[in-house]
Amino acid sequence: MRVFLVTGAGVSAESGLGTFRDKDGTGIWTRFDPMKLATPEAFARNPQEVHAFYNARRRNLIKAKPNAAHFALARLETALAERAGNLTLVTQNIDDLHERAGSERVIHMHGELLKAHCTACEVVNPWRTDLGLRERCAACGRTGTLRPHVVWFGEMPFQIGEIYAALNEADLFVAIGTSSSVYPAAGFVYEARALGIRTCEINLEPSDNAEQFDERRYGLASEAVPTWVDELLTSM
């Protein structure tokens, strides 16, 4: 079986990383204006403010640990490979918790917080400390040219060709912990349905696209994801 998964902030919520649009008022975009922090125009206008926002999140990420949902998805990757299948794990998350749980192949369509991109020479460097206007690019030596290696509104997500190629080959599409409100990821379920691929949503509550899914499972990712993985592997 070829499984295509897209994960969102909900999969990392129980690891202490905030989600963006929680209805209880704690979501990142409830507290902060994305137009002031997550667009290339905002970064050009006020790079210090954007760096401060991502520096705080980077420090929080370094302290965080993967949860049972991340570990279950790593186990699924191994189990599918052993059964001549495969897992394409696409995440909208910029954290590295899937990798830290053992997932080998993760497509970070919205980038990675622990990397910095030089806007002068285009080299992407690993980055674990605070970033600002004084930091120097290790490749070209310039200062003031580094930005977080993340995809902001209006920018093209990464590896989009590879993502659609994998979706076209899939037998099952699963969306986990995403509100399905940001495109193009929110459109994957429509693509899957048009291709005749079975669709499943695992989330705390119905997402914006819930009616598009053949199967819907609601609960905490740390509980619902391991249960789903166990049931899928037993059914194969």
Catalytic amino acids? Answer: 110
Enumerate residues 6+ apart whose C-beta is below 8 A from 141: none
Give 145 or 207: the residue with its C-beta nearer to ligand BJW: 207
Classify the C-alpha dihedral 13-235-185-131 as positive or negative: positive
Contact between 68 and ligand BJW (CB under 6 A)? no
Quickly count helices (H) and strands (E) in the chain. 9, 9
Give 62 or 81: the residue with its C-beta nearer to ligand BJW: 62
Contact between 117 and ligand BJW (CB under 6 A)? no
Contact between 177 and ligand BJW (CB under 6 A)? yes
Contact between 211 and ligand BJW (CB under 6 A)? no
CA distances from 192 to 53, 124, 129, 181, 229 (A): 35, 32, 39, 17, 20
Enumerate residues 6+ apart whose C-beta is below 8 A from 198: 171, 172, 173, 214, 215
Residues 9-28, interacting with ligand BJW (CB under 6 A): 9-10, 13-14, 19-21, 27
Contact between 8 and ligand BJW (CB under 6 A)? yes
User: What does the block give as tokens for 151?
Assistant: 């995809």
Q: Which residue is nearest to ligand BJW (CB)?
A: 10
Q: Which stretch binds ligand BJW (CB under 6 A): 72-80, 117-125, 178-186, 209-217?
A: 178-186
CB 100 within 8 A of CB 15: no
Q: Which residues bind ligand BJW (CB under 6 A)?
A: 8-10, 13-14, 19-21, 27, 38, 92, 94, 110, 150-157, 160, 177-179, 181-184, 203-205, 207, 220-221
